[in-house]
Chain A
């Protein structure tokens, strides 16, 4: 009985404000005659006919997701690999650091026109934009994480003769993973932004392209439904990342909780 009350109270906290806000949006625009702010009912109607019953899902959403996935996977692999190397080799790090710092400081969207010159406007360019823009948080966090690996653990594994691949697999990678995953989270939101921008800037398919087409054609309810799709996409990916993070770092959060003094 008490648990049921607690659960319902908790659900109320979670959905209370969103429901109120959506209801407000609905009520405020219900009789809307404003051209730019159609009623939420109309947007919901359009949402179905625009995204669910046409082939947009396969023609626009899936290519976008594929580019995002490819770019993100590459940037995580590249960032962790190179970050491991730089984190373990002091001289290499000292040599590369100023150049890397400069590249990190460049706002990634400016790379889109540059890469268009080099790689055209195909999928390759968009994947390249995502990789070049989102690799930095992963790379720099990996470097920092590898450098901060516990000294005692490091010496212990060395005296037990754990070297080479095993050392990276069982000491360096897990030790740096909290930092790496923090970098991956930043990289994910940058990747989404770059995916959308690169499609808005130059493309013939994809979510960003479609939404801008709607806006240019003054298809306002469709445009709103596109904005909602982009929002949902960002939200769902961040939710999925949260699940991944809890699984991958469960041991770490447990460790932090068991040592309350050392935060």
Chain B
């Protein structure tokens, strides 16, 4: 996902390839600015799109185009949402979900960093482990659900097992890619200046791999959220996923939609959070590295 490319990353952001194409796309539009609708900035269209979509969600069920029993109008969903916000069980569930996400992601990031840098210390190790990583990585983590249930029941550890397994791989892969990107001249320079092993790691390897690592963290953060909620939904460990399943089985349709909206907001908050951490951690970096798709 290269959505980051079009937005300025830092004040020092060099005019990279993508910002050039952006400018090139903007120019002709600016040139033929005539009267009327073309004068409006993009954000107006965005707001218009959101309002139109909201209006559809409100009107289609009311007019009977969509069955109202299945698709409550938007106003009912929002009313249900406000009702949820007043319930303490909702906040507990939200807290449980965020906690499962946070702990799982933290473990995966720590493990990915440690194991990734350890493997990267030798070309032999990279070659030996490559096939195993390629085999284990595509295994869908949800395959572990039955095992998690047997071992931990509905405990938070069930959730963590799935979350850690799923979000570990993007981090590991990105660290491995990042270390391989080290500039050979810089490496030789550190060698001839007699840098210690630690100094080489601190001043050469770590800064080179960090942008890759952050891309991995960004990918893993959303994977972790998906897996946290899947685990809650299937296993029944406490959290928003369980709340959704419960509302659905008790036919509280508006509550189901309200909770789904909350998970969407949560997803957006997670994205914004990780992006801002990324910007802060990489503020020294001239431009973002090309994302490696995982």
Instruction: Using CB atoms and an 8 Å cutoff, list the residues of chain A in contact with chain B.
Output: 13-18, 21, 36, 90-91, 94-99, 101-114, 116-118, 137, 140-141, 144, 147-148, 151, 179, 182-183, 185-186, 189-190, 192-193, 196-197, 200-201, 208, 211-212, 214-215, 220, 223, 226-227, 230-231, 233-235, 237-238, 263
- A17-B128, A18-B135, A94-B49 are known contacts; what are 12 more A-B pairs with Cβ within 8 Å? A16-B128, A36-B147, A95-B49, A106-B267, A108-B226, A113-B248, A114-B257, A147-B25, A200-B145, A201-B234, A234-B140, A234-B143
Asked if B287 is an interface residue, CB under 8 A from chain A, the answer is no
Residues of A within 8 A of B260 (CB): 106, 110-111, 114
Q: Mark B267-284, 1 if CB is under 8 A from A, else 0.
A: 110110000000000000
Instruction: List the 8 shortest-distance A-B pairs measured between CB atoms, nearest first.
Output: A105-B267, A215-B146, A230-B143, A238-B138, A182-B293, A95-B49, A94-B45, A113-B248
Count of interface residues, chain B, beta-carbon cutoff 8 Å: 70
Complex CA distance for A104 and B70, rounded to whole angstroms? 22
Interface majority SS on A: helix, strand, loop or mixed? Answer: helix
Q: A95-B49, A99-B50, A111-B260 are in contact. Are A200 and B29 (CB under 8 A)?
A: no
Residue on A with the closest CB to B261? A106
Beta-carbon contact of B50 and A98 below 8 Å: yes
Residues of B within 8 A of A185 (CB): 293
Residue on A with the closest CB to B44? A94
Q: Mark B47-66, 1 if CB is under 8 A from A, else 0.
A: 11110110000000000000
Complex CA distance for A182 and B270, rounded to whole angstroms? 22
Beta-carbon contact of A234 and B139 below 8 Å: yes
Q: A18-B131, A186-B293 are in contact. Are A109 and B230 (CB under 8 A)?
A: yes
Beta-carbon contact of A99 and B234 below 8 Å: no
Residue on A with the closest CB to B259? A110
Distance of A104 from chain B, by nearest CB (Å): 8
Number of residue pairs spanning A and B whose beta carbons lie under 8 angstroms apart? 185
Asked if B83 is an interface residue, CB under 8 A from chain A, the answer is no
Beta-carbon contact of B129 and A17 below 8 Å: yes
Asked if B11 is an interface residue, CB under 8 A from chain A, the answer is no
Beta-carbon contact of B130 and A13 below 8 Å: yes
Residues of B within 8 A of A141 (CB): 1-2
Beta-carbon contact of A109 and B138 below 8 Å: no
Q: A114-B257, A186-B293 are in contact. Are A196 and B143 (CB under 8 A)?
A: yes
Residues of B within 8 A of A94 (CB): 42-43, 45-46, 49
Residues of A within 8 A of B268 (CB): 101-102, 105
Distance of A236 from chain B, by nearest CB (Å): 9
Complex CA distance for A210 and B24, rounded to whole angstroms? 54
Beta-carbon contact of B146 and A110 below 8 Å: no
Asked if B263 is an interface residue, CB under 8 A from chain A, the answer is yes
List 30 interface pairs A-B (beta carbons < 8 Å), by A numbering.
A13-B130, A14-B131, A16-B128, A17-B129, A90-B25, A95-B46, A98-B47, A99-B49, A106-B260, A107-B225, A107-B226, A107-B263, A107-B267, A109-B230, A109-B233, A110-B240, A112-B233, A113-B244, A113-B248, A114-B257, A114-B260, A117-B70, A147-B21, A148-B18, A151-B21, A151-B24, A197-B142, A201-B234, A230-B143, A234-B138
Residues of B within 8 A of A238 (CB): 137-138
Asked if B286 is an interface residue, CB under 8 A from chain A, the answer is no
Asked if B3 is an interface residue, CB under 8 A from chain A, the answer is yes
Beta-carbon contact of B138 and A144 below 8 Å: no
Residue on A with the closest CB to B125? A17
Residue on B with the closest CB to A13? B127
Residues of A within 8 A of B47 (CB): 98
Instruction: Using CB atoms and an 8 Å cutoff, list the residues of chain B in contact with chain A.
Output: 1-3, 5, 18, 21, 24-25, 29, 42-43, 45-50, 52-53, 70-71, 127-132, 135, 137-147, 149-151, 225-226, 229-230, 233-234, 240-241, 244-245, 247-248, 253, 256-257, 259-260, 263-268, 270-271, 290, 293-294
Residue on B with the closest CB to A116? B248
Complex CA distance for A18 and B135, rounded to whole angstroms? 9
Beta-carbon contact of B256 and A215 below 8 Å: no
Residue on A with the closest CB to B47? A98
Beta-carbon contact of A215 and B149 below 8 Å: yes
Beta-carbon contact of A109 and B49 below 8 Å: no
Beta-carbon contact of B140 and A196 below 8 Å: yes
Beta-carbon contact of A235 and B139 below 8 Å: yes
Distance of A72 from chain B, by nearest CB (Å): 14
Complex CA distance for A140 and B1, rounded to whole angstroms? 8
Beta-carbon contact of B234 and A200 below 8 Å: yes
Complex CA distance for A99 and B70, rounded to whole angstroms? 21
Q: A18-B135, A235-B135 are in contact. Are A110 and B257 (CB under 8 A)?
A: no
A95, A186, A200, A235: most-surrounded residue (chain B CB, <10 A) = A95
Distance of A193 from chain B, by nearest CB (Å): 5
Beta-carbon contact of A95 and B143 below 8 Å: no
Distance of B96 from chain A, by nearest CB (Å): 15
Q: A193-B230, A201-B233 are in contact. Are A98 and B46 (CB under 8 A)?
A: yes
